[in-house]
Structures are given as structure tokens and as C-alpha cells.
Amino acid sequence: MPGTEAAQAAYPYYMQFDQGDDERFWFYNSMHFPEPMSAFDMVTAEAAYCALGAVNTRVHCLPTTLGIDYRIINGRVYIGGNGVTARRPRARIRATSSGYSNGFGR
């Protein structure tokens, strides 16, 4: 989008694409963010994605996910899943999930 090229520097480093992100699948989140988002407006998206990640990993303990990552190019929001592929993180998730489930309902 014209006029947004220099705005990339306003976003934090963790919202920008880097070399390792080229190997992952990303899609444009046009449903929730149809227009380019300013750096200030990204506070709402950041809060929602952090909450979704916490629900996926701590409340429901889905064994195949570690939440959702998001990146921004020229104000456009792209999201991608952060899946678990190794056995070691799965064991860690199982160990933490038993502790969380025992604490609820007391």
C-alpha cells in the first residue's frame, strides 16, 4: 500500500518477518484486519493473540499447538500456527498440563 513502506520500522522486532519465517505457512488475516493497522492499533491484536496462545497452551492444553504467531508487513497482519513437532516439547506440555488441571476446581 503506498505510504506504508517506511512505517515498518515503527513495529517491534517480534512483529516483523525474519529469515526463519520464510519456511512457515502464513496467511493474511483479512477477516479481522481488512485495512492496514498502525503500530498503535496493533495493541488490540497483540492482546488477542497472546490470550489465544495462553488458552491453547495453558487452559485447554492442546498437544499439537503452542499458540499463534503473527507478523506485519506494511500494516497488514499475517498469522500462522506455531505447531509442536518434537517429542520433547510434548512431554513438557503434558507435565505442565497435569499441574494446571489439578489446580482448578479447588
pLDDT digits (tens, 9 = 90+) for 68-98: 888 988 888 999 887 777 665 555 555 555 5
8 pLDDT above the threshold of 70: yes
User: Which residues are 28's β-sheet partners?
Assistant: 78
Residue 65 CB burial class (10 angstroms; 0-12, 13-18, ≥19): middle
Per-domain boundaries in the chain:
5-91
Specify the pTM. Answer: 0.68
pLDDT at 12: 85
Do 81 and 65 form a contact (C-beta atoms < 8 A)? yes
Q: How confident is the model at residue 67 (pLDDT cuts 50, 70, 90)?
A: confident
